[in-house]
Structure 1
Amino acid sequence: MNAKWIYSCLLFVAVVFAGCEDKIVETYLGNSPVYMSYEDLRNAVKMESARDIENPGKIYFKDNYIFINEVMKGVHVVDVSDPASPNSIGFIAIPGNVDIAIKENVLYADSYIDLVAVDVSDLASVKEVGRVEDIFPYMLPEYDPEYRLGEVDDELGVVVDWDIKKVKREIERNYYPIYYYDSFSDRLETGGSFLTNSGVGGGSGTTFGVGGSMARFGLYKDFLYTVDNSTLYTFRITDLENPLELGSSNIGWNVETMFIYNDHLFFGTTTGMLIYSLEIEQSPKYINRYQHITSCDPVVVQDDLAYVTLHDGGGCGRSVNRLDVIEMNDDYSQLTPIASYSMANPHGLGIDDDVLFICDGDAGLKVFDASDPLQIGSHLLAEFEDINTYDVIPLNNYLFMVGDGGFYLYDYSDLQDIQLIATIPVSTTD
């Protein structure tokens, strides 16, 4: 038996065993994706009858209507022309929706990977009038973290739900084990008339609506700006029904919120506040940055002051829960922190003249006199405990608030006696 023959036999055996182990099937109990086809997604926008609020997200106000996002499902439309008796008039089904903004009679919304434009001039018969396809990153809904994610095939459509069941997939194996790491997508975590000028519902209305501090959509002149975790998207909306994508730019990482004020964009990120100029509307330009310890931070601005809430939890970083007040000069070249106040777990906030509203998580809603920014902490006007709060919109002596418990409406015309005048609770039905 010569050496050449022995070598050939050993090579044959190695090839056989390598071929047997080239592919193996892994089986595990996991989150199996449930898909909606792209065709169905792009024919899904419609007005439905009013439904219970189950998982409220951001809020938006325009022309006596509050729009409450039902996370990943669509938008509740509530008539608040009589603040003490809010009336839910319908639900706009928009799969994959998290954010909205409204100019005149057109509502702009994300729908998974698309931007849609919806005519809301007749709320009895809303209709999609425009769409920019494949503009946003592919996103996944929330899943049960106790189970691994199954493979997602974006060619099959968008993932609208998960089934917990046995998942099989074929994995390659050479001469050593390959360890699989699933990729995860975070949820792209705002009597008489209030305002007067054609708009929502066909009546006279304002040009723009008003969003909360947790918004990622914003309007300025003939432009719509949207932001995700790292990218700013710019659309021209001179033709309201046909938004035109002008491009996108990377503005950093872990961007959470966007606030437009005084011809500038203010972004809240986990590491600080970014400021961009809108002098050239189609091409926002970086101006400055206020840096803070890693935490989540929505921002609101009034005059020369920026109010930033920092909170921990989830992916927000270290245990920091406070309100920061930053003084800014006219061109925003100088950003000076002038005060910090300890909070429980602050999220959204709003400012109306000298009145500051803070959603302090499980600690509830807190209202401060902010006329002296150096004494805010000692000037608590009111506190509403036993509610978990998320975001607010203060407007003309009425405060619209959303939280885990649903929608809340307060009258703060008398700051010494702020009253909760109406609620729409979340559904408790399983």
Structure 2
Amino acid sequence: MKTKTIYISLIFAMALLSGCQDKLYETFMGNAPVYMSYEDLRSAIQMESARDIEKPGKIYFKDDFVFINEIMEGVHVLDVSNPASPEEVGFISIPGNVDIAIKEDVLYADSYIDLVAINVSDLDDIEEVGRVEDIFPYTVPEYDTDYRLGEIDEDKGVVVDWEIEEVKQEIKQYYYPIYYARSFAENMALDGAYSSSKAGGVGGGDGSTFGVGGSMARFGLHGDFLYTVDNSNLYTFKIDDLENPVELGSKSIGWNVETMFIYNNHLFFGTTTGMLVYSLEIGQNPTYINRYNHITSCDPVVVQDDLAYVTLHDGGACGRSVNRLDVIRMSEDYTQLNLLQSYSMANPHGLGIDGDVLFICDGDAGLKIFDASDPLQISANKLAEFPDINTYDVIPLNNYLFMIGDGGFYLYDYADLQNITLLSTIPISTAGN
């Protein structure tokens, strides 16, 4: 009994000494965070004059306008009513932005941890009309991996940049946060490689109600709902009042989710291990139906009729050396998902389908266009290819193809499939690169 009492006393004394111990600090050269306060973040939405495209992300089309994400900074707006001569209208500043979707005159966008709703009926006088705060994961921008990360204090705001300087911080004994070399949002933009009726894409193509996104989208519209997805969670918002999105909740749908595509009242998710299918019969509560498994690889998906087209590519976190197009036959209720055919590719990323015409962004191998009327003979029916560009994502719509790649924005006319023509380009600025 005496021994036990001494032991307890020793533990108490050690705990007391530990509580009185001075904090320990370390000093090193590292990435010191540069913050934007939450107040500044939530008053930063504005239309600016047109600026050069430098770091393009995803692409979106609505009512003769193309919207091109400038990763983590905002959205370029192009008027393409004259496809041969696109006009650069302006730049919507949205700090921390990667994805958008547009219903009627309201643009929805991620802004670091927030969802914002912006009225764009007058592009000369846009207005933030709604915001859901603290809904998305806290993100940090790309940093210099040659240096350690300094400690991040989320109470100070969002991290918008880094400065290499001497960092002094307390040594954490039991916990030290881990941050990625790219921000969570940038991972959402880039790891998916870089949806709509006719084009079959996220957001739909119902007249002027919805815009149309590319195959790399993580935002999608269906009826009175906005759906967004991150690496593992699906978020649902009610938007019957367009200017006041209401969060309905989120649910885990697995890991390594990369893209989302809406078609025929269903959600199709591309992940690094397969394609997931969810029903939207109950819009506020998407429900799991089935999955198609494949080898670990990055995976955007587009769907038309009873076929899903899935591109798999390697590189980075995308797994083993697999570069191919998979064509999947689906039963009417999506309970049966069977591989119909696979085709070897160079390094395929985004893709689009319009009727019998399949467009594939094949990385350094360029844009490839196929007649897909016979899904068993796609590779034998190549209509055209444009090999001198590194392509990222496409939107085919009404005989025009909008494409984004390392070289900038490209607009093609494919009304004559025997003479697919590049009408115009807007190159990426090399200034400061």
The structure-2 alpha-carbon separation of the partners of 1:381 and 1:168, relative to structure 1 and needing over 3 Å to count, comes to same
Alignment of 1:324 onto 2:326: yes
Determine the structure 1 residue equivalent to 2:293.
Answer: 291
State the distance in 2 between where 1:45 and 1:180 align. Answer: 33
Report matched runs for 1:26-425 at 5 Å: 26-172=26-172, 182-184=178-180, 185-186=183-184, 187=186, 188-189=188-189, 206-425=208-427
Rg: which structure is higher?
1
**What does the per-residue CA deviation read over 1:178-209, in whole Å, with 9 as the maximum and x for residues that have no partner?**
8967332542239xxx99xxxxxxxxx60000
Q: TM-score, normalised by structure 2?
A: 0.89
- Equivalent residues of 1:71, 1:98 under 8 A apart: yes
The structure-2 alpha-carbon separation of the partners of 1:168 and 1:338, relative to structure 1 and needing over 3 Å to count, comes to same
State the distance in 1 between where 2:221 and 2:178 align. Answer: 36
Quick one: percent identity of the two aligned structures?
Answer: 75
Look up the equivalent residue of 1:227 and give its one-letter code: V
Look up the equivalent residue of 1:88 and give its one-letter code: E
State the distance in 1 between where 2:102 and 2:334 align. Answer: 28
State the distance in 2 between where 1:96 and 1:180 align. Answer: 24
> Secondary structure, in 3 states, of the residue corresponding to 2:318?
coil
State the distance in 1 between where 2:84 and 2:179 align. Answer: 46
The structure-2 alpha-carbon separation of the partners of 1:181 and 1:218, relative to structure 1 and needing over 3 Å to count, comes to closer
Look up the equivalent residue of 1:183 and give its one-letter code: Y
Alignment: residue pair count: 401
State the distance in 2 between where 1:400 and 1:142 align. Answer: 28
**What does the per-residue CA deviation read over 1:153-186, in whole Å, with 9 as the maximum and x for residues that have no partner?**
110000111112222222156xxxx896733254
State the distance in 1 between where 2:137 and 2:175 align. Answer: 26
> Secondary structure, in 3 states, of the residue corresponding to 1:362?
helix
- Equivalent residues of 1:59, 1:66 under 8 A apart: yes
> Secondary structure, in 3 states, of the residue corresponding to 1:429?
coil
> Secondary structure, in 3 states, of the residue corresponding to 1:155?
helix
**What does the per-residue CA deviation read over 1:352-379, in whole Å, with 9 as the maximum and x for residues that have no partner?**
0001000111111111111111111111
State the distance in 2 between where 1:67 and 1:172 align. Answer: 44
The structure-2 alpha-carbon separation of the partners of 1:247 and 1:181, relative to structure 1 and needing over 3 Å to count, comes to closer
Q: TM-score, normalised by structure 1?
A: 0.90
- Equivalent residues of 1:23, 1:172 under 8 A apart: no
**What does the per-residue CA deviation read over 1:368-394, in whole Å, with 9 as the maximum and x for residues that have no partner?**
111111111111111111211110000
- Equivalent residues of 1:259, 1:267 under 8 A apart: yes
Give the deviation of 1:240 after TM superposition: 0.3
State the distance in 2 between where 1:333 and 1:71 align. Answer: 37
Unaligned runs of 5+ in 2: 1-13, 200-206
State the distance in 2 between where 1:344 and 1:31 align. Answer: 37
**What does the per-residue CA deviation read over 1:117-148, in whole Å, with 9 as the maximum and x for residues that have no partner?**
00000011001000001111111112222222
State the distance in 1 between where 2:386 and 2:54 align. Answer: 22
State the distance in 2 between where 1:19 and 1:61 align. Answer: 59
Comparing 26-35 with 81-90, which one deviates more in the overlay?
26-35
Give the deviation of 1:319 after TM superposition: 1.2
State the distance in 2 between where 1:287 and 1:172 align. Answer: 44
Look up the equivalent residue of 1:428 and give its one-letter code: T
**What does the per-residue CA deviation read over 1:49-90, in whole Å, with 9 as the maximum and x for residues that have no partner?**
100001000000000000000000000000000000000011
> Secondary structure, in 3 states, of the residue corresponding to 1:125?
coil
- Equivalent residues of 1:85, 1:422 under 8 A apart: yes
The structure-2 alpha-carbon separation of the partners of 1:415 and 1:159, relative to structure 1 and needing over 3 Å to count, comes to same
- Equivalent residues of 1:22, 1:172 under 8 A apart: no
Look up the equivalent residue of 2:304 and give its one-letter code: Q
Unaligned runs of 5+ in 1: 1-13, 196-204
